[in-house]
């Protein structure tokens, strides 16, 4: 597989992982000139063409998700023998591998991961998209601290194919909510359950429910209570312990009503730990009451009583002083102003006036705020923050997550490919049809239609003209050429000298026998050669691709 070019576009560089459904490779997208994660479905699943088509449709629908904590889906295709999905490539390590290699993670990292995943789910749920299959292997922590949730879109396809779902369930059973195990459709509540299990595993290197069979695990989920994570890892704060246990309640009604509710509690806990505020802890055993201790002499009882009252007085003074300091500290707060819609320079000026440190938290697509304007601020406007540690993290808009589809009708296939790439799209499926109005080899129609808005990287399917439909000839009428006559053509090809690595040269012939591949070989950059192609009949069309790009398209009468 290494070195192979898939779909005339993706050059496979190295294998990075294997899953129950896909093998994952690092590949170079030769059209967009960027590194992507290429998922190739295992052959035993890809051979089910209906399932492969459902997976393609499901991933294409999820491609509309554009959030900083979601790995973007760039392309999906099942038209050939293979089913592939191209996604944003994230350099880092999955939570599953992190825990497997180093054991439980710190509370700080667990909170960062949990908050990032819930922020991604909050965005997706607002658009009506449920993940449905969250596992530690789906969460990638980048080398720069960036956290991405992957594999949106698969659950919908699996719901329509119960046989395939049953084959894969053993890989997901530990993270599935009881209602999903029973066969119900995944919901936001089941996503909350999965996040709770992932947090539990991150902090304890254990699962709340485990067993030898799927049935035994499913039964434990509804019949037994999990061991509190704090009992396994004493470093887990009681507040976080309670949040996790609420998230993995067997009844969906007893869990958080939304990811936003769980997200708010995790953010509050992280802020408390960051500022050194008190966090609820388990009660320690109290010393035996003094009344249970027998005095050695009568005078010692009076002495102890004196010191007891003195200690109580000191405690009261300290508590009063602490409350006073807390009130004063609470008053030393400032309100976060509205940064949304401002440029970075405008926001910096406003932040300096209010005594706030503004932190650039990266870029994000936004359909609300134009490129260059702030589209996200945490904490949001109106929040009270400590004056001595006033910080606000903002993201700057990259502009809309969708762009307008160009009009490719009337162009040749080569020109249409070039125009699509310039506009940020790719060419998908290409088929031919007869047309009395559109010249031969020109685009008759496209899908999506011109003017529609789609995410960058969306594939545009084309219908190419074959010219007017031939009129059947009478048997008596002479023909200028026998349709079975063999003809030979010399095709000259030059591989660009600045190409990166070996390039696949592909020659397709469309003649009286139909469409076929006449030549397919790898050539080094700078190769200049001529090859012979044999075809039959008239109106012979020869198409030449170099590195997946159409470079020559000639029709011979």
Closest CA to 460 of 515, 398, 404, 505: 404
Beta strands 486-494 and 528-536 are antiparallel
In this prediction, residue 302 carries a pLDDT of: 41
Q: CATH fold of 5-88, please?
A: Phosphorylase Kinase; domain 1 (3.30.200)
Examine the pLDDT at 364 and tell me if it is beyond 90: no
pLDDT in tens, 132-152: 889 999 999 887 778 999 988
Backbone phi and psi for residue 187, each to the nearest 5 degrees, phi listed first: -135, 175
* Nearest by Cα to 199 from 235, 220, 229: 229
Residues with Cβ < 8 Å from 311, sequence gap 6 or more? none
Q: Rounded to whole angstroms, how far apart are CA atoms 107 and 350?
A: 34
Please compute the mean of the pLDDT values over residues 38-43 and round it to a whole number.
92
Average pLDDT, the chain: 83
Kindly report the CA angle at 179 between 176 and 169, in degrees rounded to 5?
40
Task: Report the pLDDT value the prediction gives residue 243, as an integer from 0 to 100.
Answer: 96
Q: What is the pLDDT of residues 479-520, one digit of tens each?
A: 444 456 788 888 889 888 887 777 888 899 888 888 888 888
SS3 at position 454: strand
Q: Tokens representing 392?
A: 């606000």
pLDDT of residue 171: 78
H-type alpha helices, 332-366 = 344-354
Helices (H), ranges, 362-502: 413-422
CATH assignment, 333-397? 3.30.10.20
Quickly name the fold that domain 402-469 has. Trypsin Inhibitor V; Chain A (3.30.10)
> CA-CA distance, 339 to 341, in Å (whole number)?
6
- The tens digit of pLDDT for each residue in 304-339 reads 555 666 666 666 666 666 665 554 444 467 888 889
With cut-offs at 50, 70 and 90, classify the pLDDT of residue 281: very low
Contacts of 183 (CB under 8 A, 6+ apart): none
pLDDT one-digit tens code per residue, 93-125: 899 988 988 889 999 999 999 999 999 999 999
Question: How would DSSP label each residue in 248-282?
Answer: T-SSGGGS-SSHHHHHHHHHHHHHHHHHT-----P
State the distance between the two ends of the chain, measured CA to CA, in whole angstroms: 39
At residue 340 the predicted structure's pLDDT band, cuts being 50, 70 and 90, is confident
Q: Is the pLDDT of residue 266 over 70?
A: yes
Per-domain residue ranges for the chain? 5-88, 92-275, 333-397, 402-469, 477-557
Q: What is the pLDDT of residues 214-255, one digit of tens each?
A: 888 888 888 888 999 999 998 899 999 999 999 999 999 999
- The yes-or-no answer to whether 333-397 and 402-469 have a common fold is yes
Which CATH code for domain 92-275? 1.10.510.10
Closest C-alpha to 208, from 188, 225, 191? 225
393 forms beta bridges with 359, 378
Architecture of the domain whose range is 477-557 = Sandwich (2.60)
Residue 45 in contact with residue 32, Cβ under 8 Å?
no
pLDDT for res 505: 87
What distance in Å separates the CA atoms of residue 277 and residue 390, rounded to the nearest whole number? Answer: 15
Do residues 426 and 458 make contact, with C-beta atoms less than 8 angstroms apart? Answer: yes
What does the alpha-carbon distance between residue 377 and residue 355 come to, in Å, rounded to a whole number?
Answer: 16
Q: What is the CA radius of gyration of the chain?
A: 32
* Full DSSP string of 205-262: SS-SS--SSHHHHHHHHHH-PPPPHHHH-TTS-HHHHHHHHHHT-SSGGGS-SSHHHH
287 pLDDT higher than 50: no
Spatial distance between the Cα atoms of 83 and 540, rounded to a whole number of angstroms: 31
Report the alpha-carbon distance of residue 222 to residue 235 in Å, rounded: 28
Name the DSSP letter for residue 116: H
CA distance 8 to 404: 25
Q: Which two tokens stand for residue 185?
A: 């459709």
């Amino acid at each position: 597989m290494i070195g192979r070019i898939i779909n005339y576009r993706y050059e496979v560089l190295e294998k990075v992982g294997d899953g129950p459904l896909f093998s994952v490779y690092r590949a170079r997208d030769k059209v967009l000139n960027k590194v992507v994660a290429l998922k190739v479905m295992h052959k035993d699943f890809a051979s089910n063409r209906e399932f492969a088509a459902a997976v393609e449709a499901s991933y294409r629908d999820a491609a509309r998700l554009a959030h900083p904590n979601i790995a973007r889906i760039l392309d999906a295709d099942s038209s050939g023998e293979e089913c592939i999905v191209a996604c944003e490539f994230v350099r880092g390590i999955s939570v599953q591998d992190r825990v497997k290699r180093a054991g439980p993670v710190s509370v700080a990292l667990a909170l960062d991961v949990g908050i990032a995943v819930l922020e991604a789910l909050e965005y997706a749920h607002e658009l009506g998209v449920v993940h449905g299959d969250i596992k530690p292997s789906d969460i990638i922590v980048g080398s720069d601290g960036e956290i991405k949730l992957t594999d949106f879109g698969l659950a919908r396809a699996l719901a329509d194919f119960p046989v395939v779902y049953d084959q894969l369930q053993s890989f997901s059973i530990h993270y599935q909510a009881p209602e999903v195990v029973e066969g119900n459709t995944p919901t936001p509540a089941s996503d909350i359950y999965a996040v709770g299990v992932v947090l539990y595993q991150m902090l304890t290197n254990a699962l709340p429910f485990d067993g030898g069979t799927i049935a035994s695990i499913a039964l434990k989920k509804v019949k037994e209570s999990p061991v509190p994570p704090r009992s396994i890892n004493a470093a887990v704060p009681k507040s976080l312990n309670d949040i996790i246990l609420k998230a993995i309640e067997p009844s969906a009604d007893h869990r958080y009503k939304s990811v936003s509710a769980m997200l708010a509690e995790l953010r509050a806990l992280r802020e408390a730990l960051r500022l050194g505020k008190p966090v609820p802890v388990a009660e320690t055993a109290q010393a035996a009451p003094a009344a249970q201790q027998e005095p050695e002499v009568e005078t010692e009882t009076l002495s102890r009583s004196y010191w007891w009252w003195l200690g109580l007085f000191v405690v009261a003074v300290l508590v009063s002083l602490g409350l006073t300091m807390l009130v004063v500290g609470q008053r030393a707060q400032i309100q976060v102003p509205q940064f949304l819609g401002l440029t970075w320079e405008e926001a910096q000026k406003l932040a300096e006036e209010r005594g706030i440190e503004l932190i650039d938290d990266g870029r994000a697509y936004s359909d609300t705020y134009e490129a260059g304007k702030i589209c996200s601020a945490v904490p949001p406007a109106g929040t009270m923050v400590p004056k001595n540690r006033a910080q606000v993290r903002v993201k700057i808009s990259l502009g809309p997550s969708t762009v307008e589809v160009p009009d490719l009708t009337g162009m040749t296939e080569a020109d249409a490919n070039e125009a699509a790439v310039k506009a940020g799209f790719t060419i998908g499926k290409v088929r031919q049809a007869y047309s009395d109005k559109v010249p031969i080899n020109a685009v008759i129609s496209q899908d999506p239609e011109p003017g529609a808005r789609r995410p960058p990287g969306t594939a545009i399917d084309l219908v190419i003209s074959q010219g007017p439909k031939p009129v059947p000839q009478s048997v008596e009428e002479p023909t200028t050429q026998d349709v079975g006559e063999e003809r030979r053509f010399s095709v000259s090809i030059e591989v660009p000298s600045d190409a990166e690595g070996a390039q696949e040269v592909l020659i397709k012939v469309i003649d009286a026998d139909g469409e076929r591949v006449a030549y397919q070989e790898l050539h080094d950059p700078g190769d200049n050669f001529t090859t012979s192609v044999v075809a039959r009949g008239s109106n012979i069309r020869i198409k030449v691709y170099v590195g997946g790009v159409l470079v020559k398209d000639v029709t011979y009468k």
